[in-house]
Amino acid sequence: MFGMGMPELVIVLVIAFLLFGAKRLPEIGKSVGRTIQEFKRSMKEVSSDDENKSESKKKA
């Protein structure tokens, strides 16, 4: 996962816990999840738009 092993992931989680506290971590996780989901959706839309443009150029 992103070139990170289990030890690195644990270190990142511990640092996040220390910086933000236990109460804010779930909120931050939800926010990051939504952002990633929106980004993926946008990438699919751009990809499908590019495919539609190339298909219309082939037909012309």
Per-residue pLDDT reduced to its tens digit, 32-55? 999 999 999 999 988 887 677 666
Delimit the domains of the chain by residue range. Answer: 25-60
25 falls in which pLDDT band (50, 70, 90)? confident
Q: Single out the residue of 57, 49, 48, 13 nearest to residue 32, CA to CA.
A: 13
Handedness of CA 22, 31, 8, 19 (dihedral sign): negative
Average pLDDT of the chain?
84
One-letter identity of residue 3: G
| Spatial separation of the C-alpha atoms in residues 52 and 49, rounded to whole Å | 5
pTM beyond 0.75: no
Q: What is the pLDDT of residue 59?
A: 62
E strand or H helix that includes residue 51 = helix 6-59
